[in-house]
Amino acid sequence: MSDNQYEKQIKKALRRSGLDFNVFCYDLIDSTNTEARRYALSGGKIPAVFIAEEQSAGRGRMGRSFYSPLRTGLYISLLLDIPDSDAVRLTTSAAVAVRKAVLQKTGIDLKIKWVNDLYLASRKVSGILAESVLVGEHRFTILGIGINLDTDFRQTELRDIAGSLGISPKIRPALASELIKDIHSVLYEEDPLRVIDEYRQSSCVLGKPVIFTENERSYTGIARDITDHGHLLVLLDGGNEKILSSGEISLRINNGELKS
Ligand code: BTN
């Protein structure tokens, strides 16, 4: 574990906001989501947050890896006492919180691509991996977030897809504290419809032609709306409607604008 000053800085900022999280910072770890799972299974105190300078086995959705080189991004996982019964709500709320925190700390206005990728212009700069862990009879949620701050993708196969905010990684402790506060406030927001409204307003998918694959079948249509439950309503080319509820669907905007 790193004894870096970030841990203290973040703890202090959270305490000032009345949030009692255990905070763990690492120089290098396989994956903060994996560490959160190990910690929960070993009976650690929850809520807790795990932040790494570098991940050797960062994980993304759909079995993908998440490129996490040293000190170029914020790699953070929150372990929360929330059941995963509404996974879509959790991930849409987390996306709203990431957008809010980035806007607040950098002035950069990200757009959300359903369900939980964040884009700057045509490049993905942040992703969210929501998982759960069963400890005895109790299920906890792990929300893992990666934000590329000044990651260089030129030598990687992600060079045409991924991007960075283009800001100094020195912002990490301030951004991490803001993000934890924002996640906490959106998840416990009294009126979840307010969060969904914010999600809709930040969407870069609505009104756009989309292509997605479900059960090995490909569909095209127009993204019409995001329901109050965070599901995506697509008007298919044949005239039928389809409601997408799973983040395991790979969705592309069908004009080459956004890839994932
Ligand atoms: C995605 O874009 O598919 C989700 C990426 C999630 C990456 C973050 S980085 C912190 C946490 N630890 C991981 O191994 N993954 C998440």
DSSP 257: S
CA 103–ligand 1 middle distance (angstroms): 20
pLDDT values of the chain reduced to their tens digit, one per residue, 260 residues:
455 688 889 999 999 999 999 999 999 999 999 999 999 999 999 999 999 999 999 999 989 999 999 999 999 999 999 987 777 889 899 999 999 999 999 999 999 999 989 999 999 999 999 999 999 999 999 999 999 999 999 999 999 999 999 999 999 999 999 999 999 999 988 898 999 999 999 999 999 999 998 888 899 999 999 999 999 999 999 999 999 987 656 778 776 555 55
- What 3-state DSSP class applies to 224? strand
CA 231–ligand 1 middle distance (angstroms): 21
CA distance 149 to 102: 10
Nearest atom in ligand 1 to 52's CA: 10
CA 147–ligand 1 middle distance (angstroms): 9
Entry pTM: 0.94
User: Which of 78, 90, 129, 148 maximizes ligand 1 atoms within 8 Å of its Cβ, making it the mutation to test the pocket?
Assistant: 129
Q: Can you give the length of the chain in residues?
A: 260
CA 144–ligand 1 middle distance (angstroms): 5
